[in-house]
Chain A
Amino acid sequence: MDTTKVANTNGTEPAIAAKPSRAGAVASWADDRLGLATMAKKNLRKVFPDHWSFMLGEIALWSFVVLLLTGVFLTLWFTPSMGEVQYNGSYEQLRGIQMSEAYASSLKISFDVRGGLLMRQMHHWSAMLFVASMMVHLLRVWFTGAFRKPRELNWVIGCLLLLLGTLEGFTGYSLPDDLLSGTGIRAADGFIKASPVVGTYMSFLLFGGEFPGESIIPRLYIIHVLLIPGLLLALVGAHMLLLVYHKHTQWPGPGRTEKNVVGFPMLPVYAAKAGGFFFIVFGVTALMGALLSINPVWKYGPYDPSKVTAGSQPDWYMGWPDGALRIMPGIETHIWGVTISWNVMLPILILPVVAFTVLLLLPFIDAWVTGDKRDHHLLYRPRNAPTRSAVMVALMTMYGLFWAAGGNDIIAIRLHASINQITYFLRAAVIVGPVIAFLVTRRWCISLQRKDNETLLHGYETGIIMRSPEGGYTERHLPLDATRAYVLTARDRDPVVDGEVQHEVDGNGVPTPHTGRLSGVRNRLRTLMWSDNVQKPTAEELDAGHHHAEHEHELQTALDGHAADGHQFDGHHLVEDEGLRHH
């Protein structure tokens, strides 16, 4: 301790009080006015567990910040107007052509504002990154069980963020008013008109009259720069507050329990890592904006309702409803003087709404099926919830197949198949594929569980090959060390005995199921959920397994009278001052 700065005398000389640090002085000034210390006391050293998969949400957060920054930059030059002007900027090929002010200003940003193209490309790349990382983050949360109580509401907020992010992307993509984005708006008008009863009214109100009118770009603009970003910001804030309030989940491990959270403190380590990571995400976006061209609107030309570019494709995250639209049979009903366009309504107006609702409700459906009322703060590996993992893989498969359908023309060309064949195949595949994916994933997870049990009971494979006196070769298995064995067994035991779901089990938080009209359905779902799972071994099984292994082990080494336990050579074990064990 530096004693020069504390009071060092009570004699005649005045005592020198310790001077507070500079940061401390600022903090005191602020606290005198804001009284933040009470809250900050808890949060400055808040613990955040570390794992690579926890970075996915962070990528989404930081790319959102990059979107805000680059977006504000773009607004300084972008003119959201459909008024016609003649282009006189520096892009030779379009000079003299009539176009909307929106398109002209996008060209200006691209060619006449220094750094403008960079900002446009960074904005678009970070939009891709934003949506993609939200999706992968969602998968992480599902596959590891982080969606369970008490975090269901954060799942709901996350789903809303994904929805709004997608809409935000679509509105942004439409702003430059180039041929490609105009075609997207044209299709959106067709979707709206297909709505029963109110379709034409919604279309005329949205477009300020008949398509294309001159209002849609300014209206989309205000939705894009104010309305949705405001909602996104509020929801991101709520998402973060709940994260802090619940404290982050963690993986089971030495010293980690359901009742604690282990990791680095917010200040300084987590703040530094997260803050540094922001610069990395920002920098990577800049790198992409510098090197990879995206949405070169000047190549498409201005929007013209009588023109189209071949191979029209929306941004990738809009691809799956587009695929559904492509493979839907052309069914339309004309009855009582009205038209019902099933061919548009089903894939665009109904399917995405149903899909989104299912996604939003997944944690609640799950909780209803399991009847689990406990809080969960420890994550699990996807294999330890085979049915849950299988459900998500089935959904992913369906998404992927619809998405592939969105490129059916490209696939047909690549595979030299007729587009008809591809379409018929995909119509069947979007239904059969997810079922197969479900079954395969579930079985796969269960075999992985079985393998974990093998490892627990018979030890891990050492890579040491033993030769028996008879000349046979076997691989030496050795028991796990305490930490690894602990981590493998640190998971729930499902309420299942001999493949029968035990409804009366308590102390596991699973309530008895007799009540309710749907209890029959629920019991069957529970059976599906758990009955085939491989449970972790019981204490007796473990004992028996270890005895057996030890016995074998002795037999194998009986020759020289030594039981070399092999730990010495496998790198899992400290070998200092440990000789070969004698039996």
Chain B
Amino acid sequence: MSDDAHELDTVPDATVTDDLYANPGLAEHHWRPTDVDPKMEKRAERQVATLFGLSTICTILFVVSYFTVDKTDTFAGLGAQNLTLGLTLAGALLFIGIGVIQWARKLMADLEIVESRHPASSSEADRAATLESLDQGIAESGIGRRPLVRNSLLGAVGLVGVTAVVPLWDLGPTNAKVTKEQPYPGAGLENTIWAPGMRVVRDVVGTPIRPGDLQIGDLVNAEPEGLFNGGPDGEPLEGVALQVGKSKGAVVVVRMEPEEIIPGKGRENWSVDGIICYSKICTHVGCPISLYERTTHHLLCPCHQSTFDLADSARVVFGPAARPLPQLPLQVDADGYLVAQRDFDEPVGPSFWERG
């Protein structure tokens, strides 16, 4: 016990050393009605038991509604099953909670008790003894006297972590590997599935688009036809190939008055009759963009409101994006459908270090 006895004497206590008013000491205990009046006590007891009883009823109702309420039933616009299960569960839990707290407040002894504090630190004696043992242990290990052993151990332990880190390399193929091996069409950050002569088709349905299908002011969400027929035997892509293909290949096609377009340098023949095509993937952090204001030709990203001027090479006019949307060079194929002249000239989507 002598250890516990070391007191907080080193702690100057503002409330003691600087007393303007003496600490009045613990307030007098007041007896509650339930402490002195047996009738009140009985009443509180009944109240608490009633609460527990209500909880039991709720539990029973929970089970009943589980087996009787159908998943298609509704009540006041809410799913009846969720509602009945939820409300009965809530009741079963809340009544226990309220009951227990009521029990504590009304019936359990409410005498405050006082405990003294001890410093978080150990006693001086313990501290000294521990340090001594520590020193002794270190001395007996000889770690101080044998630097060769110590240093080679430190080196080995430091290095052994490498065995945990290196295998993480196989968590996935790197960009370089994917780009080289092309496990699916358009693999790698520098590529997309777009290729010379690939048709621009409407998303979801995959129908090709003729210039005449578009009115001035229209915006069409489009995709590369390769998503619908790019498999080895001309079947639709699926799985990772499809998802990656979409995530880089999605485009928007808009039509405006040809003279409204301010073509970028070297992009004079990238549009067809005022029809112009851009990557749909925001150059900020990669949300697909959708909100088009036809009068200003502004395309707004819903994620962080970057705004691109589609008449002016998708220049950023507002927001946190730093680069224009990549433009897809368009032309019309022999059947009169819109096709890509070739893949994008630059990587689509968010920036990355090696992008240059």
A and B physically associate: yes
Q: Which of B12, B221, B316 has the most CB of A within 10 A?
A: B12
- Do the beta carbons of B316 and A255 come within 8 Å of each other? no
CB interface residues, A 278-318, toward B, < 8 Å: 278-280, 282-284, 286-287, 289-291, 304-312
Report chain B residues within 8 Å CB of A330. Answer: 284, 306, 316, 319-322
Q: Which residue of A lies closest to B26 (CB)?
A: A255
- Do the beta carbons of B85 and A212 come within 8 Å of each other? no
The answer to the question of B1 belonging to the interface, with a C-beta cut-off of 8 Å to chain A, is no
Report chain B residues within 8 Å CB of A507. Answer: 12, 17
A259-270 vs B, CB cutoff 8 Å, 1 = contact: the mask equals: 111111100110
The answer to the question of A503 belonging to the interface, with a C-beta cut-off of 8 Å to chain B, is no
- Do the beta carbons of B14 and A491 come within 8 Å of each other? yes
- Complex CA distance for A189 and B79, rounded to whole angstroms: 36
Report chain B residues within 8 Å CB of A260. Answer: 114-117
- Do the beta carbons of A286 and B113 come within 8 Å of each other? no
A166-207 vs B, CB cutoff 8 Å, 1 = contact: the mask equals: 000000000000000001001101110111111111011111
Of the candidates B90, B103, B247, B323, the one whose C-beta lies within 8 Å of that of A211 is B247
- Do the beta carbons of B24 and A269 come within 8 Å of each other? no
B249 to nearest A CB, angstroms? 8
- Do the beta carbons of B113 and A264 come within 8 Å of each other? yes
Instruction: Answer whether A183 and B303 are a contact pair too, CB < 8 Å, given A193-B351, A283-B94, A291-B86.
Output: yes
- Do the beta carbons of A273 and B101 come within 8 Å of each other? yes
Of the candidates B175, B305, B355, the one whose C-beta lies within 8 Å of that of A408 is B305
Which of under 10, 10 to 19, 20 to 34, or 35 or more describes the interface residues of B?
35 or more
Q: Count CB-based A-B contacts (< 8 Å).
A: 365
- Do the beta carbons of B108 and A268 come within 8 Å of each other? yes
Report chain B residues within 8 Å CB of A328. Answer: 320
Of the candidates A114, A211, A258, the one whose C-beta lies within 8 Å of that of B16 is A258
- Do the beta carbons of B96 and A114 come within 8 Å of each other? no
- Complex CA distance for A207 and B172, rounded to whole angstroms: 7
Report chain B residues within 8 Å CB of A239. Answer: none
CB interface residues, B 302-341, toward A, < 8 Å: 302-306, 316, 318-323
The answer to the question of A447 belonging to the interface, with a C-beta cut-off of 8 Å to chain B, is no
B74-115 vs A, CB cutoff 8 Å, 1 = contact: the mask equals: 000011011101110111111111111101110011101111
- Do the beta carbons of A343 and B284 come within 8 Å of each other? yes
Of the candidates A84, A187, A198, A337, the one whose C-beta lies within 8 Å of that of B286 is A187
B176 to nearest A CB, angstroms? 9
The answer to the question of B356 belonging to the interface, with a C-beta cut-off of 8 Å to chain A, is yes
Q: Which of B86, B96, B98 has the most CB of A within 10 A?
A: B86
- Do the beta carbons of A209 and B24 come within 8 Å of each other? no
The answer to the question of B22 belonging to the interface, with a C-beta cut-off of 8 Å to chain A, is yes
- Complex CA distance for A486 and B353, rounded to whole angstroms: 64
Report chain B residues within 8 Å CB of A490. Answer: 14-15, 23
Q: What are 22 pairs between A and B in contact, CB < 8 Å?
A: A115-B66, A118-B86, A183-B303, A187-B286, A194-B350, A199-B353, A200-B354, A204-B178, A207-B172, A211-B247, A214-B239, A257-B16, A258-B16, A261-B116, A269-B110, A272-B103, A279-B94, A283-B96, A284-B90, A331-B322, A423-B305, A536-B20
Q: A150-B120, A187-B287, A330-B284 provided; 9 other pairs, C-beta below 8 A? A: A194-B352, A205-B169, A206-B172, A209-B178, A265-B113, A269-B104, A306-B249, A326-B320, A338-B353
